[in-house]
Amino acid sequence: MEQATDSGPDCEGGSSRRQFIRSLAAISAGLTVAAPLGRAAIPEESIPQTAPPNSGSGLGLVRINLKVNGNTRRLFIDPRVTLLDALRDRLELTGTKKGCDRGTCGACTVHLDGRRVLSCLTLAVMAKEREVTTIEGLAKGDELHPVQAAFIECDGFQCGYCTPGQIMSAVACINEGHSGSEREIREFMSGNLCRCGAYPNIVDAIKIAAAKMKGEVS
């Protein structure tokens, strides 16, 4: 299933992605008819003493540990909640963006154990006890990741909304060894849509960053 959420090229992801969506639908259907659910998820430490009326706090929630950007966060979470919505609505990590919520645009790309996944097609409960890296966790303090720096240098974005997903995908694209040529970069970055049309600049940025990252490794 992890493989199925890979946002790599269509030739690899196509059928497995469909399978994944089917299985996801089955899971959601099963869970939504379960116990009445209260406020969908709240960091455990912030659960109010007195639950607001009609909220049903605590009922049907699942307790998970989410390890995001090196920090472990405990959550009581509605099993329907996607990793994307858990990050955005519960952990205030809004850098990861929702562009379609259907796995078709790549704006929500994050890393799960170092692999790029679409967080809108990943339930938060599936990410428990695993390493989640988001755009907020890429820089080392004030020092930008080489891909982040190259995106600024090459103007690899305009509105910036797809950018977190593009950057997470670009880092993975380089780490996967798919930055060997412009053509290869274009192919392996085509799961991330950019309506502003910054694609040629994104390719330039990945070339620069890949060279830099290679230099750092060797």
Partner 1 sequence: MSTQIIGKPQDRVDGRLKVTGRAMYSGDRQEENLTYGYLLTSKVAKGLIQAMDTSVAERSPGVAAVYTPFNPLKLYHGLEPPEGATSGETLPPLQDQKILNYGQIIGLVVAESYEQARDAAALVRTQYQAEEPVASWEQGIEHTFTPESVDREKATVKILAEGVDSIDDAIRGSPLVVDVTYTEPIYHHNPMEPHATTAVWHGDRLTIYDATQGVISHRLNVASVLGIDEDMVRVLCPFVGGAFGCKGSMWMFSPLTAAAARALNRPVKTILTREQMFTLVGHRPALIQHLTLGANPDGTLQAVKHDVRSTVSFAKIFVEAAAHRTSRLLYKSPNIQVSHTLVRWNVGGPTFMRAPGCAPGMFSLECAMDELAVRCGIDPVELRTKNDAEVYPGRNVPWSCKNLVECYQLGAEKFGWSKRNSIPGAVQEGDWLVGMGMASALYPAHRNRASAKVRFQADGTAQVSSATQDLGTGTWTVLAMVGADSLGLPIAKIHTELGDSALPSAPTSGGSASVASVTPAIQKAAESAKKKLIQLAIRDRKSPFFGAKIEDVSYRNGELTGAGKSADFGSVLSGIGRSAVEAVEMAAAGEEEEKYAFHSFGAQFCQVKVNRWTGEVRLQRMTSVMDIGTVVNLKTARSQIMGGIVFGIGMALMEGTILEEKTGRYANANFADYLIATNADVPYIDIHFINKPDTIFNPLGARGIGEIGITGTPAAIANAVYNATGRRVREFPILPEKLLPIGANQPMISMSERS
Contact window for partner 1 (CB under 8 A) among 111-119, 125-133, 198-206, 210-218:
198-206
Please report how close the Cβ of residue 181 comes to partner 1 at its closest, in angstroms.
12
Please report how close the Cβ of residue 75 comes to partner 1 at its closest, in angstroms.
13
Asked if 208 is part of the footprint of partner 1 (rule: CB under 8 A), the reply reads: no
Closest to partner 1 by CB, 143 vs 218, is 143
Asked if 181 is part of the footprint of partner 1 (rule: CB under 8 A), the reply reads: no
Asked if 96 is part of the footprint of partner 1 (rule: CB under 8 A), the reply reads: yes
Asked if 42 and 56 touch (Cβ cutoff 8 Å), the reply is no
Asked if 148 and 156 touch (Cβ cutoff 8 Å), the reply is no
Please report how close the Cβ of residue 170 comes to partner 1 at its closest, in angstroms.
10
Of 66, 202, 209, 213, the residue at the interface with partner 1 (CB under 8 A) is: 202
Euclidean distance between CA atoms 209 and 15, whole angstroms: 31
Q: Whole-angstrom distance between the N-terminal and C-terminal Cα of the chain?
A: 33
Distance of CA 123 to the CA centre of its chain: 11
Of 44, 131, 136, 176, the residue at the interface with partner 1 (CB under 8 A) is: 136
Please report how close the Cβ of residue 214 comes to partner 1 at its closest, in angstroms.
20
H helix and E strand count, the chain: 6, 6
Q: State the burial class of residue 25 (Cβ atoms within 10 Å of its Cβ: 0-12, 13-18, 19+).
A: exposed
Interactions with partner 1, residue window 12-71 (CB under 8 A): 32, 36-41, 52, 54-56, 59
Please report how close the Cβ of residue 218 comes to partner 1 at its closest, in angstroms.
25
Euclidean distance between CA atoms 20 and 149, whole angstroms: 34
Q: At what angle do helices 199-217 and 163-175 cross, to 10 degrees?
A: 40
**Whose CA is closest to 116, among 68, 167, 181, 67?**
167
Binding residues (CB under 8 A) for partner 1: these are 32, 36-41, 52, 54-56, 59, 78, 80-81, 85, 88-89, 92-102, 104-105, 107, 134-136, 138-139, 144, 148-149, 151-153, 155, 157-164, 167, 185-187, 189-190, 192-203
